[in-house]
A = this chain, B = another copy of it.
Amino acid sequence: MKLIMAIIKPFKLDEVREALTPLGVQGLTVSEVKGFGRQKGQTEIYRGAEYVVNFLPKVKIEVAVNDDIADRVIEAIQGAARTGKIGDGKIFVLDLAQAVRIRTGEANAEAL
């Protein structure tokens, strides 16, 4: 199994989720993160004090999938999250040693 971690632009979240459903992905976990990278943020000014926001709001999606669909999931995410503008984000793939569904104790494939 793979744990796919994607950092995307927040407003793309729904599109990405919808792109994964057809692949049989039944669940995923999302967190609000801040991203630092090539994309530069807007400037905030308060009574003359300027703050360039280096850390931009991003959304991190973590989804555990079976190896067989991993590549399609990656493509789907990339396709849905892409705007072509700088700051679109990354997809990181980790090997998942084990997975358990807490409710049932089912393991691995059945747990997803």
Interface residues of A (CB under 8 A from B): 2-3, 6-8, 17, 26-38, 54-55, 58, 60, 64, 74, 77-78, 81-103, 105, 111-112
* Chain B residues in 8 Å Cβ range of A17: 36, 54
Q: Is A34 within 8 A of B27, CB to CB?
A: no
- Across chains A and B, which 9 residue pairs bring their CB atoms closest together, nearest first? A27-B37, A93-B98, A88-B103, A88-B102, A91-B100, A31-B33, A93-B97, A30-B34, A89-B102
Partner of A94 from B6, B55, B97, B103 at Cβ < 8 Å? B97
* Chain B residues in 8 Å Cβ range of A82: 102-103
* Chain B residues in 8 Å Cβ range of A3: 92, 94
